[in-house]
Chain A
């Protein structure tokens, strides 16, 4: 079984620079970390490989510095790592990002199972996974809460929709996005880290894409554009309660009681 896990390096903190001209995010600055949701995706893949055999390839799109994240993935047990990196991919939205990733998966010779995290902590859209599935014309199940079974033909998953828990069987090739709490991600192993120290992280660029139509990638291939960024509006009527802690609390209690809120 061939599993591809899509991952992303995200800003570690909440401070992000925005390019004032294009309104696009500049990812080069600041500390980064692996999107925490993607660790659940990678762990799910590694656990499945232990059960069914096969390989786990991690794939990301981003600047070459994503190599740190990929090395960590090796130390967790990934077999192969590919970074999709090219200035032509920069500024991509959901459509262009998912297209480039789907093209890269074709270059990798396809996959039986593609696993994505539920969402990233920077974009927070939760849309790239299902969009990859649509580009590849394969079925998907989003926000999978549990893997019940898997063999060489299909996977059985449980999804918790708002008030219904649904168990379904999906034949390969397919894509799933996994929810937080589906498993406990293992820590990078020191032994594996030493063993894989010399293993290369492959870089793929626009030149490697089967579809050489530039208008499908990056900022140009993105139908959404950021028109402006602005600070959220502050509300007008605010009351700062004065006095010591006790007095403030008493005032609050009086206000809430008087307004029949409590």
Chain B
């Protein structure tokens, strides 16, 4: 296979890689090492080579796209549950797959219970769920999880790999795309596919009010991460026809150099993403007291107060309550922005909201481009008035 490259000048033919290879894929032939078809990209040889003569390699310009087919979705588990972003990725992949006659497959890595969770995916119309279940996969570590998913990619040769842009996904995806020497587009907000199987990947880019359309035209697989709550969830299918495939895990694959010492559940309230009503304080809100004014509105509405990045950087709120590319993406039923200018990093993470109200005294503010109801006025008059109206209604 084209994946492993041996540097003949450095190789001393010690045979350690041949001995360590769990798949018996390596052989010494003449004065070099030959990689057989059973290679699963586990990377043990790269790790063990004393001369550092082995590396992963795939030349970007030489890929034959017809040999890379179907979608592969990495399905994340969180405390034994499927992370809901997976259903959104399945929904999006199924839409694209129908255009180019691709299958939609999933891969799961984890400890006990993973195969059981895998079965739950079938009713959403996926074709195969590849499961790497092993006690060694209890708890996320980027190195051994990457080894398992790389094994699946090498075996199934997907055209595209979709991964949720969670803390875990953003740690895993770059390791995989780097290992396969291919492209990764982070935080896509729109995905589509061309007849030649190149994905059309759209993401908000670089500071300005700009969207970038990004393509990976010369290499496979194409990697994309997608935020939670950006895409529509997959619908259940009437007669699921997919199957769960249990993949063999050898001990070497599940060994990580990272040792988990403890893992504790973070006790938390309803997260920003789960909230139906949000009030957002932006830079137009000038003091701590004014932030409280916005909080009163949020409380009256039974929602939560959120912040823009400048507000968090100024210490008014924490990142768990920040909306934007470096914070959370939200799709509440109602979002009321107070004194928010509406930079693309903010708006791209809330335009999925059902009803957007913008209050800002600057008629040129970018936020008015995405708002459904626009109030060009002083928030210091509007917000207290609205709070009072809501409170009075409750008293009626």
Binding site for B on A (CB under 8 A): 11, 13-16, 18, 23, 25, 36, 93-95, 98, 119, 121-131, 133-135, 137, 139-143, 156, 159-171, 174, 179-181, 215, 221-232, 234-235, 237-241, 244-246, 248-250, 252-253, 255-257, 259, 261-262
Q: Are A125 and B260 in contact (CB under 8 A)?
A: no
- Contact A161 to B167, CB < 8 A, known contacts A18-B210, A124-B325, A234-B369: yes
How many whole Å from B182's CB to the nearest CB in chain A? 5
Per a CB cutoff under 8 Å, which of B47, B268, B389 touches A163? B268
Q: Are A231 and B209 in contact (CB under 8 A)?
A: yes
A179 CB contacts on chain B under 8 angstroms:
319
How many cross-chain pairs have Cβ atoms below 8 Å apart between A and B? Answer: 266
Q: Are B186 and A124 in contact (CB under 8 A)?
A: yes
Q: Are A224 and B345 in contact (CB under 8 A)?
A: no
Bound Cα distance A153, B348 (Å): 43
Q: Are A165 and B170 in contact (CB under 8 A)?
A: no
Per a CB cutoff under 8 Å, which of A18, A131, A227 touches B174? A131
Dominant SS among interface residues on chain B: mixed
**Is B382's CB within 8 Å of the partner chain A?**
yes
- Contact A232 to B347, CB < 8 A, known contacts A163-B78, A261-B355: yes
B214 CB contacts on chain A under 8 angstroms:
224-227
Binding site for A on B (CB under 8 A): 43, 46-47, 59-61, 78-79, 83, 139-143, 146, 166-168, 170-175, 177-179, 181-187, 200, 204-219, 256-266, 268, 277, 301, 313, 318-319, 325-326, 333-334, 343-345, 347-348, 351, 354-355, 357, 368-378, 381-382, 385-386, 389-390, 393
Q: Are B170 and A126 in contact (CB under 8 A)?
A: yes
- Contact A142 to B170, CB < 8 A, known contacts A124-B325, A125-B187, A225-B217: yes
Q: Are B183 and A95 in contact (CB under 8 A)?
A: yes
- Contact A228 to B213, CB < 8 A, known contacts A131-B175, A134-B174: yes
- Contact A137 to B60, CB < 8 A, known contacts A122-B207, A232-B209: no
Per a CB cutoff under 8 Å, which of A25, A127, A239, A252 touches B186? A127
Q: Are B215 and A162 in contact (CB under 8 A)?
A: no
Can you offer 21 A-B residue contacts whose CB atoms are under 8 A? A95-B182, A122-B206, A123-B206, A125-B187, A127-B186, A134-B175, A139-B258, A140-B142, A142-B142, A162-B166, A164-B266, A181-B319, A221-B60, A223-B181, A227-B200, A227-B213, A241-B375, A250-B389, A256-B334, A256-B357, A261-B333
